[in-house]
Each structure stands twice: as structure tokens, then as C-alpha cells.
Amino acid sequence: MPRMREDDPPEYVISDEAAVYIADALMNLALQFESTHFAEIRRHYDAIAPRNNRDPRQLDLFRKHPPF
């Protein structure tokens, strides 16, 4: 009996239609999760963002400028 290598994951063969249904379901799940937990996700990303790491040579492209 031949042994399977631990490195090689098993390959699953599915139809194109099944792949589309699975991808669509996963995308809907991810979007629903993100819309439900947006505040928690945003707080996490804000917490890990670098602070006071301003390089004076870097242009501030997203600051609100006064109207012309």
C-alpha cells in the first residue's frame, strides 16, 4: 500500500458550477460578517496602525483641504 506524502494536500475535483456556488456562498458569508462586525474590524486595524510615524517628505494626500 503506497503512502501519501504529508506535503501534498488531497485534490478535490468539483464542477465549474459547484465552484461558482461555493465561491458565491463564501463571498456572501464574508460580506455579511464584515458588515456585522465592521466596528470591531476597524478598531483592530486602528489599534495596529503605526502612530506618529510621519515622514516630513511624505505628501498628505487624504487630508481635507480648504475649497478653492
Q: How far apart are CA 2 and CA 46, in angstroms?
A: 51
- How confident is the model over 24-66, as pLDDT tens digits? 999 999 999 999 999 999 999 989 887 766 777 877 777 776 7
Cell of 9: 494536500
Cell of 5: 506524502
Is this prediction's pTM over 0.85?
no
Q: How far apart are CA 4 and CA 22, in angstroms?
A: 27
pLDDT (0 to 100) of residue 5: 62
Which has the higher per-residue pLDDT, 6 or 24? 24
pLDDT (0 to 100) of residue 8: 72
If we measure between CA atoms, which residue out of 19, 41, 21 comes closest to residue 32? 41
